[in-house]
Amino acid sequence: MSEIPGTLGGKRNVLVRGLLILLMAVAFQIAATLLAVAAVVQFALVLVNETPNARLISLGKALGLYLGQIAGFVTFASEDAPFPFSAWPAET
């Protein structure tokens, strides 16, 4: 999908990918925290309104896909770097 340095081989490219992996690890922590906050808010809303919020459902699905993309990239299972180096994951 998107061509970024660090995915084509060579020592320099591996070092660039290592830097991207560190950045993606930070992004993973932020996204996981946002997902936890969204889950708590969704739970509170369901307690009050007895129905889940559609926007939070959509956010939760997108964050889950994003976390999966990050995991694939940092474990070398995927060569495609996640957002912000590619498009935000869309619901399927």
pLDDT in tens, 7-48: 455 677 888 899 999 999 999 999 999 999 999 999 999 999
Task: Kindly state whether residue 38 falls inside one of the protein's structural domains.
Answer: yes
Structural domain span for residue 48: 32-92
Task: Kindly state whether residue 27 falls inside one of the protein's structural domains.
Answer: no
Number of domains in the chain: 1
Question: In which region does residue 76 sit, left (phi positive, over 0), alpha (psi from -120 to 50) or beta (all else)?
Answer: left
**d(C-alpha 67, C-alpha 89), whole Å:** 10
Task: Kindly state whether residue 41 falls inside one of the protein's structural domains.
Answer: yes
Task: Kindly state whether residue 18 falls inside one of the protein's structural domains.
Answer: no
Task: Kindly state whether residue 62 falls inside one of the protein's structural domains.
Answer: yes
pLDDT reading at 83 higher than 70: yes
Q: What was the pLDDT predicted at 75? A: 93
